[in-house]
């Protein structure tokens, strides 16, 4: 079996199911712990696991990059868990590309998945095991899942493949709803999944940048005949996400929204956009998250990275620059500290978050039209490496949207320390029956608190204010993002109280993995599983 040295550890690269069975049996015999790595988008988890285990058991690191087969039969697809949804430009094995990605192959067969996340370089196994989701209360990735195959390690059988199939007629107590989503590798190694696909579609939409007051949505109130409430907007809009800049003298909102259409509708919408801009008409008009310079988003992304790095490392770089000139340092620092939030930051954000006008480049809000698999993941243009963004993501019952938004508005207005210099993302997600999905049995509003990855300091200290403030809304945190410490008030007991089927899920986990072959140090405290 091939292996790959990466970030100070060595990953095994199984090529088929038998390889996975062999390495799981080997881990059981040697009292090792199997750790799976997908695209490494779950940054808190991957950085913790690569430090090694503290229990005395060695980690057996595994990547399924060589298991990327896609078999399309009619309107169903069976895909290996190591297959990436879309091409992963940072795949350390170099295997991932457009041609072998799941979504491209489905599109070529005139098929689709009804919803996608903001990016698509994750693996199928990683996306499912962390309960990731797109921004829709009408469609979901999980709705398409028919079955999932997991290599478990039960008592008396050792490594074996167990298939969990969606029950017909539906039964929310079926183990399928325990295993299909949010297992986090704790049931075993997801090796493949089967999806019921939808017909291929296109999207058409727009992105509007306004002040909070001028937004077409009543962001903090109950809504009216003139403006829908945010809850109503999220329920009635097929796909959407909001970027909120709540800083003093900024108070801007960016609303991205889209709906399904056919090729003719997408081309007509694109033609309208091009004609409005005075440009030659083309068949489609892809969304641009940042300005394209020389037909690429790279330069604009790099510029944003340099600027936000300077903001996030202030005043360290100024001290290094003027380390031998204390008086000058104190004067400059004092002036900037006093004027940064009320004066400097608003001017900076006027450049990066520019309110739409009739005479801007787009002649108003940006209109876009695209294929489903390239249009829905609106963040694919932004490089994780050039512009690292970390966040905690809190999933809250959508019925509490008005209270949450009003509470957050008050919180942000209390202090610039609460807003920071970055944005807050707001998504929605559709309810499902998967036991440990954060949208289990309820549509949700998702509050994504951003932290720029190059900042100095500890993001957890910033997040903790939100974890504490919003705890009364019984949020469920995204499993792949920063979460409250397991020993904190929002840790293990809080999580267990917010998942009605927590104990049933834990009982099944124990049955499938009694020897803790799949229990790593990161998840052990969150599940309150002591070492054997």
Evaluate if residue 46 carries a pLDDT over 80.
no
Mean pLDDT, rounded, of the chain = 95
Evaluate if residue 266 carries a pLDDT over 80.
yes
Evaluate if residue 416 carries a pLDDT over 90.
yes
pLDDT tens string 241-264: 999 999 999 999 999 999 999 999
Span of 321-335, 397-411, 424-438 with lowest mean pLDDT: 321-335
Confidence at residue 532, expressed as pLDDT on a 0 to 100 scale: 85
Q: Average pLDDT, stretch 120-130?
A: 96
Helices (H), 224-356: 230-236, 263-277, 298-312, 316-321, 326-339, 345-352
pTM of the full structure:
0.96
Evaluate if residue 45 carries a pLDDT over 80.
no
Domain 2-200+501-527, what fold?
Answer: 3.30.465
Q: Average pLDDT, stretch 416-435?
A: 96
Confidence at residue 341, expressed as pLDDT on a 0 to 100 scale: 94
The CATH number, out of the four listed (3.40.50.150, 3.40.50.300, 3.40.50.970, 3.40.462.10), of the domain defined by the range 202-296+362-477: 3.40.462.10
Evaluate if residue 50 carries a pLDDT over 90.
no
Evaluate if residue 393 carries a pLDDT over 90.
yes
Residue 386: which pLDDT band, with cuts at 50, 70 and 90? confident
Domain definitions of the chain by residue range: 2-200+501-527, 202-296+362-477
Closest C-alpha to 522, from 191, 33, 81, 153? 33
DSSP codes of every residue in 262-277: -HHHHHHHHHHHHHHH
User: CA angle, corner 22, sides to 178 and 148, nearest 5?
Assistant: 25
Confidence at residue 292, expressed as pLDDT on a 0 to 100 scale: 86
Evaluate if residue 7 carries a pLDDT over 90.
no
Evaluate if residue 43 carries a pLDDT over 80.
no
Q: Average pLDDT, stretch 337-361?
A: 94
Q: Average pLDDT, stretch 405-421?
A: 96
Confidence at residue 49, expressed as pLDDT on a 0 to 100 scale: 78
Evaluate if residue 35 carries a pLDDT over 90.
yes
Confidence at residue 44, expressed as pLDDT on a 0 to 100 scale: 78
Task: Extract the tokens encoding 401.
Answer: 């949207």
- CA 91/CA 498 separation, integer angstroms: 35
Evaluate if residue 193 carries a pLDDT over 90.
yes
Residue 401: which pLDDT band, with cuts at 50, 70 and 90? very high
Q: Checking DSSP bridges between strand 9-13 and strand 59-63, what pairing results, if any? A: parallel
pLDDT tens string 55-97: 889 999 999 999 999 999 999 999 999 999 999 999 999 999 9
- CA 148/CA 291 separation, integer angstroms: 40
Confidence at residue 323, expressed as pLDDT on a 0 to 100 scale: 85
Q: Which helix H or strand E contains 145, and what residues bound it?
A: strand 145-154
9, 61 contact by CB (below 8 A):
yes
Evaluate if residue 354 carries a pLDDT over 90.
yes
Confidence at residue 165, expressed as pLDDT on a 0 to 100 scale: 98
- CA 369/CA 118 separation, integer angstroms: 16
- CA 451/CA 33 separation, integer angstroms: 31
């Amino acid at each position: 079996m091939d292996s790959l040295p990466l970030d100070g550890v060595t990953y095994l690269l199984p090529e088929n199911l038998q390889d996975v069975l062999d390495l799981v049996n080997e881990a059981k015999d040697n009292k090792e712990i199997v750790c799976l790595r997908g695209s490494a988008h779950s940054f808190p988890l991957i950085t913790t696991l690569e430090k090694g285990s503290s229990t005395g058991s060695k980690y057996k690191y595994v990547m399924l990059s060589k298991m990327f087969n896609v078999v399309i039969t009619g309107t169903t697809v069976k895909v290996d868990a190591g297959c990436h949804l879309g091409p992963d430009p940072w795949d350390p094995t170099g295997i991932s590309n457009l041609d072998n990605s799941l979504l491209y192959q489905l599109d070529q067969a005139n098929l689709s998945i009804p919803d996608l996340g903001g990016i698509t370089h994750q693996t199928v196994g990683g996306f499912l095991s962390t309960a990731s989701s797109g921004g829709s209360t009408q469609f979901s990735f999980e709705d398409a899942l028919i079955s999932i195959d997991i290599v478990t390690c039960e008592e008396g059988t050792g490594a074996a493949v167990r298939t969990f199939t969606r029950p017909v007629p539906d039964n929310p107590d079926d183990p399928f709803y325990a295993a299909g989503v949010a297992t986090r590798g704790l049931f075993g190694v997801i090796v493949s999944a089967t999806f019921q696909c939808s017909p291929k579609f296109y999207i058409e939409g727009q992105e509007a940048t306004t002040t909070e007051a001028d937004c077409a949505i009543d962001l903090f109130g109950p809504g009216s005949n003139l403006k829908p409430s945010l809850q109503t907007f999220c329920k009635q809009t097929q796909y959407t996400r909001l970027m909120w800049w709540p800083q003093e003298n900024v108070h801007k909102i960016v609303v991205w929204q889209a709906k399904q259409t056919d090729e003719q509708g997408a081309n007509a919408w694109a033609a309208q956009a091009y004609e409005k801009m005075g440009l030659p008409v083309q068949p489609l008009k892809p969304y641009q998250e940042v300005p394209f310079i020389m037909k690429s988003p790279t330069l604009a992304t790099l510029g944003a990275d340099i600027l936000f790095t300077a903001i996030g490392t202030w005043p360290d770089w100024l001290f290094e620059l003027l380390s031998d000139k204390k008086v000058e340092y104190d004067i400059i620092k004092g002036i900037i500290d006093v004027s940064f939030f009320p004066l400097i930051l608003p001017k900076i954000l006027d450049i990066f978050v520019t309110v739409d006008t009739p005479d801007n480049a787009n002649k108003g809000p940006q209109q876009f039209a695209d294929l489903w698999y390239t249009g829905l993941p609106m963040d694919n243009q932004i490089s994780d490496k050039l512009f690292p963004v970390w966040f905690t993501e809190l999933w809250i019952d959508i019925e509490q949207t008005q209270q949450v938004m009003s509470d957050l508005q008050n919180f942000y207005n209390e202090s610039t320390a609460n807003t920071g210099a970055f944005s807050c993302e707001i998504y929605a997600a559709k309810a499902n029956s998967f036991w440990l999905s954060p949208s289990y049995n309820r549509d949700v509003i998702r509050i994504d608190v951003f932290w720029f990855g190059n900042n100095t300091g500890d993001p957890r200290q910033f997040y903790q204010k939100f974890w504490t403030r919003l705890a009364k809304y019984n949020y469920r945190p995204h499993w792949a993002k920063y979460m409250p410490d397991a020993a904190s008030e929002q840790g293990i007991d809080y999580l267990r109280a917010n998942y009605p089927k927590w104990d049933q899920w834990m009982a099944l986990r124990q049955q499938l993995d009694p020897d803790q072959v799949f229990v790593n140090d990161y998840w052990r405290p969150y599940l309150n599983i002591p070492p054997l």
